[in-house]
Amino acid sequence: MFAVTCAQGAELADDCTVDRRTYVGWQVFHRTCAVCHAADAVGSSFAPNLLPRIRRMNGREFAAAMDEGYAGEAEMAPWGRNPEVRPYYLELWAYLSARAAGELPQGEPRPAPLSP
């Protein structure tokens, strides 16, 4: 699902290398989701911390929440028609899963070099 390699004792993702999928997930999240869910998905007054939510979901439930939107105490509009988001569910899921598993600290991770 995701591959993360961090320097020993890393407290920031800057000291971590991640697979390309996870890196693209970070990019899309940062560009589109962080405005509400905050950098690193930790939540804000607009939207919840996603990490405990992601731990309770599987990839299919995540995709459904993205496609259909989500109504809890507050509401999130659907993303299924957004060309900046719809193609990147797997990437978002990889990034958020790495965060939720506690394997990726906060910050911008480094993408693994492209294999030759």
Burial of 97 (0-12, 13-18, 19+ CB in 10 A): buried
Q: Which of residues 11-50 bind ligand HEC (CB under 6 A)?
A: 32-33, 35-37, 46-48, 50
Residue 81 CA to residue 69 CA, distance in Å, equals 11
Which region, judged by CB under 6 A, interacts with ligand HEC, from 4-12, 16-24, 67-75, 99-107? 67-75
Question: E-strand spans in the chain?
Answer: 4-6, 16-18, 70-71, 75-76, 110-111
Minimum distance from residue 54 beta carbon to ligand HEC (Å): 7
Answer yes or no whether residue 67 interacts with ligand HEC by CB under 6 A: no
Q: Which of residues 69-108 bind ligand HEC (CB under 6 A)?
A: 70, 72-76, 79, 85, 92
Question: E-strand spans in 19-87?
Answer: 70-71, 75-76
Among 38, 62, 98, 109, binds ligand HEC (CB under 6 A): 62
The H or E element spanning position 34 is helix 34-37
Minimum distance from residue 13 beta carbon to ligand HEC (Å): 17
Q: Which residues bind ligand HEC (CB under 6 A)?
A: 32-33, 35-37, 46-48, 50, 53, 62, 65, 70, 72-76, 79, 85, 92
